[in-house]
Every structure is written in structure tokens, then in C-alpha cells.
Amino acid sequence: MLTKVKMPLPDMMAAALAMDESILDADQVENLIKFCPTKEEMDLLKGYTGDKELLGKCEQFFLELMKVPRVESKLRVFLFKIQFKAQVTDFKKSLTTVNSACEEVRSS
């Protein structure tokens, strides 16, 4: 995923935190969530004092994510925001189907 992203990491995180749907879509946000560092990875990187440029792209990405408190929770809220409208539309369709079925039963 990281090699496919042409956006600098700080810009990507700024877009995610601003919940800017014009820059990031649901798939990209889902991928950001998947690639959030584990507690063990964060602990290892917190202790790193060397040159950050010497780290791999993945580790630099983790460091960028770690700058944001509760980053995974914030990304999940952003994903919910992106998907909410579609979920409401699907729910309305389901309710319409149930309502139609109830009317059929009632009128038979």
C-alpha cells in the first residue's frame, strides 16, 4: 500500500484528520487502519533515537501515525463518516422491502 501512495505521509495524515473525503476514500482509510502499528511496534519505535531518514518507509509511516493520539480510533470514525450515507441508503431500501411485505400481508 505504501508504495502505491504518491502523497507525502504528513499530507495523508492531515487529510485523514481533517476527514477530507475529497482526498482519501474508504479503501484508503481502511488500509490506513490495517497498517496502524501494534503496541509492540510503537514501543520499539519510541525507543529509536537514530536518524529517522535511515528507517524504512514502513517505519517512517508508523512514526507519522504515532504523532497522532488515538490514531486508529480517529481513522475508524473517519471511515464511519465516509460509509454512513451508503449505509443509511441501504437501510432505507431494506425498510422499504419490509414495509412492502407487511402491506402485502395486511391486504391479503
The pLDDT tens digits of the residues spanning 60-103 come to: 888 888 888 999 999 999 999 999 999 999 999 999 999 999 99
Section 4-31 average pLDDT: 86
DSSP character at residue 3? T
pLDDT confidence bin for 11, thresholds 50/70/90:
confident
| 92 within some domain | no
Report how many domains make up the chain: 1
The type of residue at 6 is K
| 94 within some domain | no
How many Å apart are CA 64 and CA 32, to the nearest integer? 12
| 59 within some domain | yes
Count of C-beta atoms within a 10 Å radius of residue 35: 14
| 34 within some domain | yes
How many Å apart are CA 108 and CA 89, to the nearest integer? 29
| 96 within some domain | no
How many Å apart are CA 67 and CA 45, to the nearest integer? 12
DSSP-based three-state secondary structure for 4: coil
- Residue whose C-alpha is closest to residue 35's, from 8, 13, 7, 53: 13
Structural domain boundaries, residue 33: 9-82
For residue 3, pLDDT beyond 80: no
Here the cell at position 80 is 464511519
For residue 7, pLDDT beyond 60: yes
| 39 within some domain | yes
